[in-house]
Amino acid sequence: MGLVLLNDKKISWRLKYFFSFAAFFSIAVLLLNGCRGVWLSIIICMLTIGFLLRKRHPRILAMLLILILLSAMALWFVPFLHARLITITDTHFEPNTERVLMLKSAWRMFLDHPLVGVGLDRWQYYYRHQYVSPLAHEPGVDSPHNNFAMYLDETGIIGLSAFIGLFAAVLLSLYKDFKSRSDWFALIAFSVVLGFLLGGLTDHTFRMMNVIRLMWFCVGLGSVTLDTRT
């Protein structure tokens, strides 16, 4: 959001300095929290935004690439960050193996309830009593750590199709608004939703109410400004 607003000509330089600081501070916090799924989602989100803007706004692409480069250097040269980084591909690292076991259980649950799923808020019950793997070290988890797997299991193909359709429509609408009117708040909302969905590949972000409220607030901000800004 900070990097996007740096390109709004209506914003004063004082605010642009603030947004620059906020952007780099946020990246530092994201690195230090050690959340590997967030690292991957943010990088993919940055690359996607940069690709979409590469012709119309090459400066944003350049800033994003600089941030990714600085982050990659920190992950490679800072010992404790590097140690965390290499666990992403470690097939013996317990959080990795647990996620694989949960996704396998989620797939079996879907095969038994393909059309409408097991029902909202029923995943944990079915997982604990019927689908938990005997190899699992955390049999009491309340989600498969994946938004798409969660909705596939609880609402079936019908519910997941609606979920994907809703957010595809939101992303398409916001991007079209930015492309046609160059409204930076629409691009911010697009980035927030995309990052939210990518983060949901490694965690069930829909149970994080603070995150959800912020996401929908940004979507509303990106939508309403199209009607109020001259």
Give, to the nearest 10 degrees, the angle between helix 209-228 and helix 184-199. Answer: 160
At residue 225, the pLDDT reads 63
pLDDT of residue 230: 43
Q: Which amino acid is at 96?
A: N
pLDDT at 190: 92
Low-confidence ranges of the chain (pLDDT < 50): 229-230
Give the distance from CA 168 to its chain's centroid: 14
pTM, whole model, 2 decimals? 0.85
Q: Are the CB atoms for 199 and 167 separated by under 8 Å?
A: no
pLDDT for res 187: 86
Query: Which pLDDT score, from 0 to 100, does residue 184 have?
Result: 81
Burial class (CB in 10 A: 0-12, 13-18, 19+), 26: middle
Return all residues near 89 (Cβ < 8 A) that are at least 6 apart. Answer: none
